[in-house]
Amino acid sequence: MKFKLLYFGDIYINPKKRAQHISDIRMQFHPQLKKLVEHSPWDNLTRYMMPKPTKSPITTKHIGGIDWNPIITPNLNLIAELDIQMLHPEIVGVSRSDIDNRIKTLFDGLRAPQNEHEIGENTPRDIGPIYTLLDDDHLITRLSVNTSHLLSSDIFSEQIQRSPDSVFMMIDVNVRVSEGTLENLPFMV
């Protein structure tokens, strides 16, 4: 199963308030993932996305007073392959384009927090469960990153003028099954 996630904003290499920066990234993916689980085959699994269901292939994590619903979890034996197209205002190949550390920051934004110290102060606590792509980033089994100069910076000129660390990303997610079970049967297409 394949789908796309979009991100536009800052990806800092070493942010001063790391937990808040990662939470801001998560919150850009949350509405996209929430919309995704309204459609098949995810919609069949949403009944398990609640605290303490009787039998659940999905684990809702309760961390820092917030329910987190990662959609790719070891319980479902799902793994992710990511193809990332990263467009940024810098000329490709200059020393400021630190791709590896930006990808590390992105991975943290794609996964559920592991403890309450990884949740930013401004993370909303009253919107219901927050959806993340991954339970943990070890579920990424393949990665491809393409970088390019954002030639049409007029579209995002206000954001880019405010922060040269802004990027526009298109992330192609290919969800794969690592081991077939009845719960993950719909994902084997």
CATH code of 89's domain: 3.30.1330.70
C-alpha to C-alpha distances, 12 to 42, 145, 154, 156, nearest whole angstrom = 32, 17, 22, 17
Specify the pLDDT at position 155: 61
In a domain, 55, yes or no: no
**The whole model's pTM is what?**
0.84
62 domain residue, yes or no: no
Range of the domain at 79: 2-39+68-187
Q: What is the pLDDT at residue 128?
A: 83
| CA dist list (Å): 67 to 35, 48, 153 | 17, 13, 37
What pLDDT sits at residue 58? 59
Listed as ranges, residues in the chain with pLDDT below 50 are 53-54
Q: Are 125 and 119 in contact (CB under 8 A)?
A: no
Q: Is residue 47 part of a domain?
A: no
So what's the pLDDT on residue 144?
A: 96
Distances in whole angstroms, Cα of residue 33 to Cα of each of 27, 54, 69, 109, 159 = 10, 24, 10, 13, 24
Only one residue has tokens 């319980």, namely: 75
Residue 59 included in any domain: no
In this prediction, residue 125 carries a pLDDT of: 85
Residue 50 within any structural domain of the chain:
no
Cβ–Cβ < 8 Å for 8, 166 = yes
Is 49 among the domain residues? no
How many structural domains are present in the chain? Answer: 1
In a domain? residue 56: no
**DSSP letter (8 states) at residue 111:** B
- 61 within domain boundaries: no
Q: Give SS3 for 99.
A: helix
Angle, alpha carbons 37-141-76 (nearest 5°): 40
SS3 47: helix
Q: How many helices (H) and strands (E) does the chain have?
A: 3, 7
